[in-house]
Amino acid sequence: MGNIWTITKRELRGYFASPVAFVFIVIFLLLAGFFTFMIAQFFKVGQATLSQTSYSPMFFGWHPWLYLFLVPAVGMRMWSEERRLGTIELLLTMPITPWQAILGKFLASWAVVAIALALTFPVWITVNYLGNPDNGVIVGGYIGSLLMAGAYLSITAMTSAMTRNQVVAFIVAVVISLFLILAGFPPVTDMLVTWAQPWIVDLIAAFSVMTHFESIQKGVLDSRDILYFVSVMAFCLFTTSTIIRAHRAG
Amino acid sequence: MIQVRDLKKNFGPKAAVNGVSFTVERGEVLGFLGPNGAGKSTTMRMITGFIPPTEGSIKIGDHDMLENPLPAKRLIGYLPENAPSYTDMTVAGFLGFTAELRGMSGDAKKKAVERVIEMCFLENVRHQSVDTLSKGYRHRTCFAQSIIHDPDVLVLDEPTDGLDPNQKHEVRTLIRRMGEKKAIIFSTHILEEVEAVCSRAVIIDRGKIVANGTPRDLKMRAPTAGAVLVQFTDGNGADVAQKVGALPGIDRAEVVGERPLTVRAYPHKRSASEDTARAINELAAKERWPLQQLHVEEGRLDEVFRSITLPDTKKEATK
Ligand SMILES: Nc1ncnc2c1ncn2[C@@H]1O[C@H](COP(=O)(O)OP(=O)(O)OP(=O)(O)O)[C@@H](O)[C@H]1O
Ligand SMILES: [Mg+2]
């Protein structure tokens, strides 16, 4: 536990010593604001809820897309940088387990996203000022959004363990995440049903972050959805440890 | 403290390390020599638990590195090749981080950081970002990291690489001093370093140990070890060489330099070097050659190294 925290602290310092964290937070806030207020015409939808009303994506509705590019940008350095600098050799010859290193790094990057997400609180205040939103739904939206970011980050952890090149790690992570979005993206599933059995479409959609994020942000905190995000993280981090072990073995 | 048995490492079909065994006890400094790509770094990476061996066993103290890595790793301080460090940290920050990973906190951590900053002369860069350090300082920072917990076992991959002559000297002194109480293994391409620091040296070539002994023993293997070198201020080279070569007990003599005229005489047996030297001295007195100096050669490590690791001279050396 102590070792995980030591590594998380170091990584967080690293994020804030380089512009990565600031750039991410600023861009995230700008884009989240832009999409919410400009495109969804937040102010014109008389009733202020932070969640989706039918298919008009409001605040949280944009998050799967925002994260698609922003989260891999945060996570891409996680292991690539370690390999590029050779510090992985230092880190893994310390008296710590590889799992402590993997978790410590993962938690640090997750914390960066969490900070960005937390900084959207003015939006929350605004909607409470403008109307009478269901705050339970909003809290659910935040939890779902954080879980989704964690899932994307674990994918990025995995891709960054594969290569010393951050750009490659970024691109591969974006592609995998895009698949996870599209598998349950209504326009895509609508198209799929014209070719395939509905149960196949449902099965594919069950692997999508969209399917699970949607119900959470509607305020339904279903344990299955939470389980989905946790499983994605567990699976990807486990794969990360396998990749690192294979890389060490040569 | 370090016990390595039949260590093997294959990268694909290629054997980088092919059956290496040795032990290093407390109070020993083992020098690791070998041409580029011989497998020195790979062996060290296995000893420190970074890469798993294909075959073989590694024991650090009483702990098996493969079965029980954490206690084994606790005993080791490691300076990897090229001295990696986190470029986004300051020197003190980086050292503090490694101290924490070594289980120190609070005052103990502060003291440990201060100690290595002083030992490695990092005082004036302590708040500088590793990013902006010169290569030598970066190297010293990583070296400082390896001794922060005062480990029993030190594994140093080219610890003096990139240091200026003064720093090289300091680091050698430090290694020798620490070697009295620790088990140290370090690799280098600087052969004088081996003589200055090591109590024992191992030469490794293409994944195998090809020589193992004290620097003195190794030097004895040089082709010129035991030969007698004579210098005259003046004289006829061919004539001198011919007459010296004709002395009893001498295999052959050759001119190795003019002005001053230098002749090297190889005795039949190395143990007879002293007698040979005396005979040459007497001959010089009789012939009235202007003798300048005369000594028995110890052999040079670079000659040994070359004769052992260069493929074309290999046969000659083992003859
Ligand atoms: N991860 C790896 N994958 C494939 N081959 C490798 C790997 N690491 C090392 N090798 C190979 O193993 C051999 C031994 O390399 P090693 O780095 O141990 O040499 P070295 O003795 O340290 O050389 P140098 O003096 O140049 O540092 C080399 O031929 C190298 O190419
Ligand atoms: Mg090497």
Domain boundaries, chain B: 2-215, 228-297
Q: What is the pLDDT of residues B11-21, one digit of tens each?
A: 989 999 999 99
Chain B positions touching A248 (Cβ under 8 A) are: 50-52
Alpha-carbon distances of A196 from A150, A184, A190, rounded to whole Å: 31, 14, 10
Chain B residues within an 8 Å CB radius of A89: 45, 50, 80, 84
The answer to whether residues A70 and B66 touch, using CB atoms and an 8 Å cutoff, is no
* Number of domains composing chain A: 1
Taking CA A103 as the corner, what is the angle to CA A98 and CA A104, rounded to the nearest 5 degrees? 95
The residues lining ligand 1, judged by C-beta closer than 6 Å to any ligand atom, are A 250; B 11, 16, 34, 36-42, 81
Instruction: Print the domain residue range for A209.
Output: 2-249
Pick among B43, B44, B101, B139 to test the A interface (most A CBs inside 10 A): B101
Domains B2-215 and B228-297 share a fold: no
pLDDT of residue B317: 46
Q: Return d(Cα A243, Cα B92) in angstroms, integer.
A: 32
Q: Is the pLDDT of residue B51 over 90?
A: yes
> CB of B73 within 8 Å of any CB in chain A?
yes
- If one compares B50 and B226, the residue with the highest pLDDT of the two is B50
Answer CATH for B2-215 from 3.40.50.740, 3.40.30.10, 3.40.50.300, 3.30.450.40? 3.40.50.300
Comparison of pLDDT for B192 and A204, the residue scoring more: B192
Spatial separation of the C-alpha atoms in residues A2 and B101, rounded to whole Å: 8
Using a 10 angstrom Cβ sphere, with 0-12 exposed, 13-18 middle and 19 or more buried, the burial of residue B231 is middle
**Which residue has the CA at smallest separation from atom 1 of ligand 1?**
A250
Contacts of A86 in chain B (CB under 8 A): 80, 82, 84
Q: Which of A65-74, A119-128, B81-90, B126-135 has the lowest mean pLDDT?
A: A119-128
Ligand 1, residues B9, B20, B42: which to mutate, most atoms within 8 A of Cβ? B42
Q: Do B45 and A10 touch (CB under 8 A)?
A: no
d(CA B253, CA B109): 63
- Chain A contacts of B70, Cβ < 8 Å? 95-97
**Which among A98-107, A224-233, B232-241 has the top mean pLDDT?**
A98-107
Helices (H), A131-222: 135-162, 166-182, 186-193, 198-206, 209-217
Task: Please give the distance, rounded to the nearest whole angstrom, from the Cα atom of residue B42 to the centre of ligand 1.
Answer: 6
| Maximum alpha-carbon separation in chain A | 60
pTM of the complete model: 0.87
Q: How many helices (H) and strands (E) does chain B have?
A: 12, 14
List, as own/partner pairs, every contact residues A41-49 make where C-beta atoms lie below 8 angstroms and the sequence separation is at least 24, other chains included: A43/A130, A46/A131, A47/A131, A48/A126, A48/A127, A48/A130, A48/A131, A48/A132, A48/A133, A49/A127, A49/A131, A49/A133, A49/A134, A49/A137, A49/A138
End-to-end CA, chain A: 29
Residue listed under structure tokens 């939890």:
A143
What per-residue confidence (pLDDT) applies to A33? 79
**What is the Cβ-side half-sphere exposure of residue B229, based on CA atoms within 13 angstroms?**
13
- The minimum CA-CA distance between A92 and chain B, rounded to whole Å, is 6
Instruction: Look at B80 and A96 and tell me if their CB atoms are within 8 Å.
Output: no
Does residue A17 belong to the interface with chain B, where contact is any CB pair within 8 Å?
Answer: yes
Alpha-carbon span B219 to B226, nearest angstrom: 10
Burial class of residue B146 (count of CB atoms within 10 Å of its CB; 0-12, 13-18, 19+)? buried
Region of B255 please: left (phi>0), alpha (psi -120 to 50) or beta: beta
Mean per-residue pLDDT of chain A: 85
How is residue A241 written in tokens? 């440890």
Q: What is the C-alpha to C-alpha distance for residues B72 and A94, in angstroms, rounded to an integer?
A: 10
Which residues, in sequence order, are CB contacts of A45 under 8 Å at separation 6+? A53, A56, A58
The predicted pLDDT at position B53 comes to: 95
Q: Could you tell me which residues come within 8 angstroms of residue B213 by beta carbon, excluding any fewer than 6 positions away?
A: B200, B201
The confidence band for A42, taking pLDDT boundaries of 50, 70 and 90, is low
For residue A173, what pLDDT is reported? Answer: 95
Cross-chain CB nearest to B100 (options A6, A248, A250) = A6
Q: In what order do the strands lie in the sheet with B14-24?
A: B14-24, B2-11, B55-60, B63-64
- Pocket perturbation via mutation, ligand 1, pick of B11, B44, B50, B208 by most ligand atoms within 8 A of CB: B11
CATH architecture of the region B228-297: 2-Layer Sandwich (3.30)
Query: Looking at per-residue confidence, does A18 or A149 come out higher?
Result: A149
Cβ atoms of residues B80 and A90 within 8 Å: yes
Average pLDDT over residues B1-11: 93
Whether residue B142 lies within 8 A of chain A, CB to CB, comes out as yes
Check pLDDT > 50 for residue A54: no
Q: Name which of B86, B128, B133, B142 to mutate to probe chain A: the one with the most chain A Cβ atoms within 10 A of its Cβ.
A: B86
Strands (E) in B111-162, as ranges, are: 153-157
Q: Residue of the nearest CA to atom 9 in ligand 1?
A: B42
Return d(Cα A88, Cα A94) in angstroms, integer.
Answer: 10
- Which residues on A lie below 8 Å from B145 (Cβ)? 90
Q: What is the pLDDT of residue B314?
A: 46
Tokens of A11: 């990584």
Instruction: Tell me the backbone φ, ψ of residue B120, rounded to 5 degrees.
Output: -105, 15
C-alpha closest to that of B218 among B301, B310, B306, B302: B301
Distance CA B13, CA B19 (A): 15
3-state DSSP helix/strand/coil % of chain A, to nearest 5: 80, 0, 20
CA dihedral for B12, B18, B24, B28, sign (positive or negative): negative
Tell me how crowded residue B133 is: count the other CB atoms within 10 A of its CB.
19
